[in-house]
Amino acid sequence: METEIEIEVEKVSFDDTNYFLVGSIESDNVMNVVKWIYQANQNDKVEGPINLYINSEGGQVCDAYALIDVMRSSRKPVATIGMGVICSAAFMILAAGAKGHRKLGKNTSVMMHQLNHDWGGNYSDLKSLGSEIDYHHKRMIKILEESTGLDKQGVQDNFLRPTDRWFTSQEVVKLGVVDKIF
């Protein structure tokens, strides 16, 4: 049973033009955003971009891919607004927003890194996982190339380093991740 507080949070976090993606990038959270985008696309009264506010330390890359695909197929531009913390999978979602409509709070912490996971298994499983990891790495590069305008080497050098890389707001504007700082 939902409490009054939970109902109020839902009202605040979702209307036809604004959605607040807060917390982990995972299937339940992402599916709610997908439903919101779908609903906004069905509402002819909604004009201009729809606003996706993001505050997330990241999460599952496959769930990020699903959301990015829906954002890119949306009839209404999806503006992305980063605030608080934007890391990993959330970084890709922020960058994939409609160009000209990507913003970042000046005090937001921003981080990107290579794909990582704690997969395990026997030799055959690990061999298969190696191919899957290569595939994910290439997809991440492609999404970031399309979103930022950087070439493959620029994406790898700036975003997919062997260690976590933290950015200032000014750096992510310069690298084409967002268009402006608020």
Tokens of 147: 């979103």
Q: How many CB atoms lie within 10 A of CB 3?
A: 8
Catalytic residue among 88, 101, 147, 169: 88
pLDDT at 163: 92
Q: Is residue 79 within 8 Å of 40, Cβ to Cβ?
A: no
Query: What are the backbone dihedrals phi and psi of residue 99, each rounded to the nearest 5 degrees, phi first?
Result: -60, 140
73 assigned to active site: no
Taking residues 43-57, what's their average pLDDT? 93
pLDDT at 128: 81
Q: For residue 59, what is the DSSP state?
A: B
Confidence bin at 52 (pLDDT 50/70/90) = very high
5 vs 16, higher pLDDT: 16
Q: What is the tally of structural domains in the chain?
A: 1
Catalytic residue among 24, 113, 136, 137: 113
Instruction: Give me the amino acid identity at 93.
Output: I
Range of the domain at 75: 4-181
> Can you give the CATH number for the domain in which 94 is found?
3.90.226.10
Taking residues 47-62, what's their average pLDDT? 95
88 assigned to active site: yes
